[in-house]
Amino acid sequence: MNDHGPRYESAVDRAIREAQERGEFDDLPGKGKPLPGLDGPDDELWWVRDYIRREGLSTEDLLPESLQLRKQVERLDETVAGLPSARAVRDHVVELNRQIRRARIMPSGPPVVLRLVDPDQAVARWEANRSAKPLVSAPAPAAEPPTRRRSWWRGLGRRAARPNR
């Protein structure tokens, strides 16, 4: 406290002081424990990162649309792998191309060259990936026990121990 005269106390400061005097802040969860994140580097967006982690959100949603679309194109084969038909794959690619065209006309964020995806090539890759996967997983063949090979250096020791004939 300041001994130079009366000090101005706002209504908020007074309410906090009175609550402390009544003991309303005693026995709060985490009392006596260090605040999390104080020992880390200074990060002005710590609260955003904490919110994203706490809510289980994807940081990909924070990217500009052009970068989101680029990631969608890169992961296209994975995305369409679970689709039931070639028509569904084609529809997905047509919608993705529509979004790419819109992003070209009204770009947001950094300029990213986005090429349209050829629906025929996407369907061909989908069919190739689908035929490469076995429909029913067959049991794995029993592995043969490995044949034990003798190391060459062991033989050297035996030869050296044998008397010459």
- Using CA atoms, how far apart are residues 55 and 78, in angstroms rounded to an integer? 25
pLDDT digits (tens, 9 = 90+) for 110-152: 877 889 999 999 999 999 988 876 655 555 555 555 555 555 4
3-state secondary structure of 145: coil
The verdict on residue 33 lying in a domain is: no
Range of the domain at 93: 63-132
The count of domains in the chain is 1
Torsion of CA 133, 135, 136, 137, to 10 degrees: 0
Residue 111, H or E segment:
none
For residue 34, what are its two tokens? Answer: 């260090």
The verdict on residue 142 lying in a domain is: no
The verdict on residue 20 lying in a domain is: no
> Which pTM value belongs to this model?
0.52
110 contact partners, CB below 8 Å, separation of at least 6: 64, 66, 67
